[in-house]
Amino acid sequence: MAASIQRTAREELRALQSERLRETVRHAYENVPFYRERLEEAGIGPDDVDGIDDIQNLPFTTKEDFRDEYPDGLFAVDDDELLRIHASSGTTGKPKIVAYTESDLELWDEVMARSLAAAGIEPGETFQNAYGYGLFTGGLGFHGGAEERGLTVVPTGSGNTQRQVELARDLESDAIGCTPSYALYFAETAAGMGVDPRELPLSTVLYGAEPCTEPMREEIENRLGATGIENYGLSELIGPGVAVECHEAQDGMHVWEDHFYPEVVDPRTGEPLPEGEEGELVLTSLSKEALPVLRYRTGDLTTLTAEKCDCGRTMVRMDSVTGRADDLLIVRGVNLYPSQIEDVVLEFDEIAPHYRIDLYRENALDRMELTVELVEGFDGDREALREAIGERLHNALSFTPDELELVEHGAIERTEVGKVKRVYDHR
């Protein structure tokens, strides 16, 4: 069914979503005290959910709810039914603990294998998995899906980049999975070793876990001579495997909405937004056992479209995440996201895809310093380039940083393990 469901008529898909939503709400109501209380507060019981159109009557779940119910208050099964525990980052407080039954792990393998197939990875190919293993869901999520797809998996994990380059060359890896920032670091390391990254056998880079603008994707593809395929997922729903670009179109990520129902809402009011309008992505699990999740506010800003894709898949597509609702930078009354700044600075061929934003407050006023890195071997007029970038930022965003510094290639710290950090708020 997995292959055919991706191209099924929307009416048939909605019927399946309705059936699974009813089952999910009942499962959550009967087995998770948190959801029983929230649903009763909203005046809703399982019998009040007739179909998918009723989803907007359900209460939201937030990351704060995960932390308040730490560690297992949102689990819907007994401990002896659990096969695995993962956790999301705890950098801003307690980590969000997530759990999986045997059925959940089978589902995870299925949607990840489906994602790899959509990315154009064929059975028998070699997949080098440079996502982190352990509590982070990236490594094991991709690993299970790759084996389900029939790939040869090289479980390198993150870091040890020179060894990664050697293995990609010597084992003739067809594809690599990693964050977009690591893909660029990988290419940079290869060049530093005297290995032309474009001569490596890699044909596909499956990137995710960080926002990636179109200019950065182009940089990855140019540096590695490979096709960049964007993936989307989050631990609270399952991990990677929620959505993926198809290699045929590379025009938005197909959400596997037979298992994860997507909505976009106004991040301020929570009201649903029409198709094509940017807002906060909200996801509902439709087939999870250990951890059913109703209307989870991801904080990620994107758009949805149900237009049929060139690949023939009928499942909705989400655009690349432009930022997070809580990543909004407000500097002297101007609202902007780091990805908007990245889009502008990477228009310049003289700028490498590495930057950092530092925010300060001086005498009750906000101050932004933007540091961007020059391409290797730059020998042009720095002052003219600085003025051109400042003018372009002003024209595109009605904003210019208080200080714009151009630094030598390699001056900005790289990230071998984990997600890259772009914004440092010292306020």
Helix (H) or strand (E) holding 27: helix 10-31
- In this prediction, residue 421 carries a pLDDT of 82
Q: What is the rounded CA–CA span in Å between residue 63 and residue 68?
A: 9
Considering the domain architecture, whether residues 266 and 292 belong to the same structural domain is answered as: yes
For residue 199, is pLDDT > 50? Answer: yes
Q: How many domains is the chain built from?
A: 2
How confident is the model over 385-397, as a mean pLDDT? 90
Q: What is the rounded CA–CA span in Å between residue 69 and residue 389?
A: 46
Considering the domain architecture, whether residues 312 and 373 belong to the same structural domain is answered as: no
CATH number, domain at 165?
3.40.50.12780
- What rounded mean pLDDT belongs to the chain? 92
Per-residue pLDDT tens over the stretch 316-364: 999 998 777 667 677 766 777 787 888 888 889 999 888 899 888 776 5
Considering the domain architecture, whether residues 372 and 396 belong to the same structural domain is answered as: yes
- In this prediction, residue 1 carries a pLDDT of 47
Considering the domain architecture, whether residues 364 and 317 belong to the same structural domain is answered as: no
CATH number, domain at 356?
3.30.300.30
For residue 398, is pLDDT > 60? Answer: yes
- In this prediction, residue 297 carries a pLDDT of 96
Considering the domain architecture, whether residues 316 and 393 belong to the same structural domain is answered as: no
How confident is the model over 292-307, as a mean pLDDT? 96
Considering the domain architecture, whether residues 338 and 301 belong to the same structural domain is answered as: no
For residue 91, is pLDDT > 60? Answer: no
Q: Which domain-ending residue is among 298, 322, 346?
A: 322
Q: Which domain-ending residue is among 287, 322, 357?
A: 322
**Closest Cα partner for 118 from 2, 279, 260, 281?**
2
Q: Which domain-ending residue is among 322, 353, 375?
A: 322
More confidently predicted of 20 and 422: 20
- In this prediction, residue 213 carries a pLDDT of 85
More confidently predicted of 88 and 332: 88
Considering the domain architecture, whether residues 253 and 163 belong to the same structural domain is answered as: yes
| DSSP 8-state symbol, 381 | -
Per-residue pLDDT tens over the stretch 227-245: 999 999 999 999 999 999 9
How confident is the model over 211-233, as a mean pLDDT? 94
Per-residue pLDDT tens over the stretch 105-128: 999 999 999 999 999 999 999 999
Considering the domain architecture, whether residues 256 and 396 belong to the same structural domain is answered as: no
- In this prediction, residue 88 carries a pLDDT of 83
> What is 116-157 written as a DSSP string?
HHHTTPPTT-EEEE-S--SSSHHHHHHHHHHHHHTPEEE---
Per-residue pLDDT tens over the stretch 162-179: 999 999 999 999 999 999
Considering the domain architecture, whether residues 336 and 315 belong to the same structural domain is answered as: no
Full residue range of the structural domain in which residue 397 is found? 328-425
**Full-model pTM:** 0.83
Residue 396 burial (CB count, 10 A): 14
Considering the domain architecture, whether residues 2 and 139 belong to the same structural domain is answered as: yes
Considering the domain architecture, whether residues 103 and 218 belong to the same structural domain is answered as: yes
**For a pLDDT cut of 90, what percent of the chain falls above it?**
77
Considering the domain architecture, whether residues 405 and 318 belong to the same structural domain is answered as: no
Angle (deg, nearest 10), helices 180-192 and 161-170: 80
Per-residue pLDDT tens over the stretch 42-84: 999 999 999 999 999 999 999 899 989 999 999 999 999 999 9
